[in-house]
Amino acid sequence: MGNGAKAQQKRERAKKAAGGVAKSQLKANEAAKTIMCQRCKQTFMCTARRDTLQDHSTKCKAEFDACFPGYVDPPSKKK
């Protein structure tokens, strides 16, 4: 058996051990975009903070409350 066959066997074993199926997080990331600007319909991740949304509202040239009505700050984490 030559070295090429050994390398091929090693690749096959590694593929079998890994499961062979690539897992993507794209669907989970799209599902997490729950905050939407009501003016331009841009979506933001659910973890977006108020300062990020405030920056967007200035770019959108509208008041914060017009872009994100009913937005409530998430509770701060206590250590």
pLDDT digits (tens, 9 = 90+) for 50-60: 999 999 999 98
Q: Classify residue 57: in a domain, yes or no.
A: yes
Q: Classify residue 21: in a domain, yes or no.
A: no
Classify residue 68 as exposed, middle or buried by CB count within 10 Å of its CB (0-12, 13-18, 19+). Answer: buried
Question: Mean pLDDT throughout 17-23?
Answer: 68
| pLDDT of 1 higher than 70 | no
As a whole number of angstroms, the distance between CA 33 and CA 61 comes to 22
Question: Mean pLDDT throughout 44-55?
Answer: 90
Q: Quick one: tokens of 22? A: 């690539």
Q: Classify residue 65: in a domain, yes or no.
A: yes
- Asked if residue 38 lies in contact with residue 63, where contact means CB atoms within 8 angstroms, the answer is no
Q: Classify residue 10: in a domain, yes or no.
A: no
Please state whether the predicted TM-score (pTM) of the whole model is above 0.75.
no
Say how many domains are in the chain.
1
Q: Classify residue 44: in a domain, yes or no.
A: yes
Question: Mean pLDDT throughout 23-27?
Answer: 83
Q: Classify residue 79: in a domain, yes or no.
A: no
Q: Which residue has the higher pLDDT, 22 or 8?
A: 8
Q: Classify residue 27: in a domain, yes or no.
A: no
* Full domain range(s) for residue 54: 34-71
